[in-house]
Structure 1
Amino acid sequence: MTGKTIAEMKLGDKASTQKTISETDVYLFAGITGDFNPVHINQVEAEKTMFKGRIVHGILCTGLLSAVMAMSLPGPGTIYLGQELKFVAPVRIGDTIKAEVEVVELLPEKNIAKLKTTCFNQDGKAVITGMATVMPKKQ
């Protein structure tokens, strides 16, 4: 598996991956990060929030975007430089999230690519939107 160089990328190129988020994923993520916010791990407390139940850590879902960039587009050798995010809808345990990246700008002189980043739920609704800045592998 090899990553694409900036010269091999084209505007509009897309790649994606998807995963069904399990309760185990949420607990493992909480343990790794130390983020034990009750909205993620305590159903009784989460029911008192505007979400009326537990939601998945948004950053757990954005990790899927990182996986797409690292493994598919641009792929292995990519350096992740920055990310802007908007969390636009909650993700629930059991949701299947599709993380998609699309090339929207190429700056060959700087070896920089701008990627539109979106996570969709199983209903096709965007749950996370944003823009990533990456440095693809060199020749």
Structure 2
Amino acid sequence: MLIRKSIKLGKKADELSIGDRLHLTEKIEDKELLLYLGLTNDNNPLYIQHDYAAETAYKKPIVPVIMLNGIITSAISKHIPGPGSRIIQQNLMYNEPVYHYETINIVIEVQHINILENLVEIYVYATNEEQKSVIEGVITVMPHI
């Protein structure tokens, strides 16, 4: 068992404020895609094969949405509310595909706090390089107690 005492717990519900936010900029590279595909054994050719994707409506490979979701949930676990928090529910829409090598801008923002139930709703919004919405929704998180 690995214990690291230097890691602080994230914020409790009563330590958060509506409007607390984090901005992220992420570029999806081949290395991350190959790691995901290897870990999940997901062999959808739309994610990696350029010749296959060229035959589809997308015209080029897209990023699996679960990878995008991982970036968002990682930010929640690391920053808002932070370490010790647990995601309870997700309601995300993937409005546009994200393509390989595309840079996306993600905002996560505290939208609602329920101190009695120890729940926080975090609004998620992401845009691509053309400022089109690629992800939008709400994630409910239980901060550490």
What TM-score do the two structures reach when normalised by structure 2? Answer: 0.88
Paired position in structure 2 for 1:49: 56
1:19 aligns with 2:26: yes
Q: Quick one: which amino acid aligns to residue 112 of structure 2? A: E
Tell me which moved more, 34-43 or 10-19: 10-19
Q: Find the aligned partners of 2:115 and 2:19 in 1 and give their Cα distance.
A: 16
Q: Quick one: which amino acid aligns to residue 121 of structure 2? A: K
Equivalent residues of 1:58, 1:87 under 8 A apart:
yes
1:78 aligns with 2:67: no
Q: Find the aligned partners of 2:24 and 2:60 in 1 and give their Cα distance.
A: 26
Paired position in structure 2 for 1:127: 134
- Which structure 2 segments of 5+ residues have no match? 1-7
Paired position in structure 2 for 1:33: 40
Q: Find the aligned partners of 1:61 and 1:2 in 2 and give their Cα distance.
A: 24
Q: Quick one: which amino acid aligns to residue 121 of structure 1? A: N
Equivalent residues of 1:17, 1:64 under 8 A apart:
no
Q: Find the aligned partners of 1:34 and 1:94 in 2 and give their Cα distance.
A: 21
Paired position in structure 1 for 2:12: 5
Tell me how far 1:51 sits from its aligned partner.
Answer: 0.5
Paired position in structure 1 for 2:111: 104
Q: Find the aligned partners of 1:124 and 1:76 in 2 and give their Cα distance.
A: 31
Change beyond 3 A, Cα 1:41–1:121: same
What TM-score do the two structures reach when normalised by structure 1? Answer: 0.92
Q: Give CA deviations for 1:115-134 in whole Å, capped at 9, x if unaligned.
A: 11122223433211111010
Tell me how far 1:10 sits from its aligned partner.
Answer: 1.1
1:65 aligns with 2:72: yes
Tell me how far 1:57 sits from its aligned partner.
Answer: 0.8
Tell me how far 1:49 sits from its aligned partner.
Answer: 1.0
Tell me which moved more, 16-25 or 101-110: 16-25
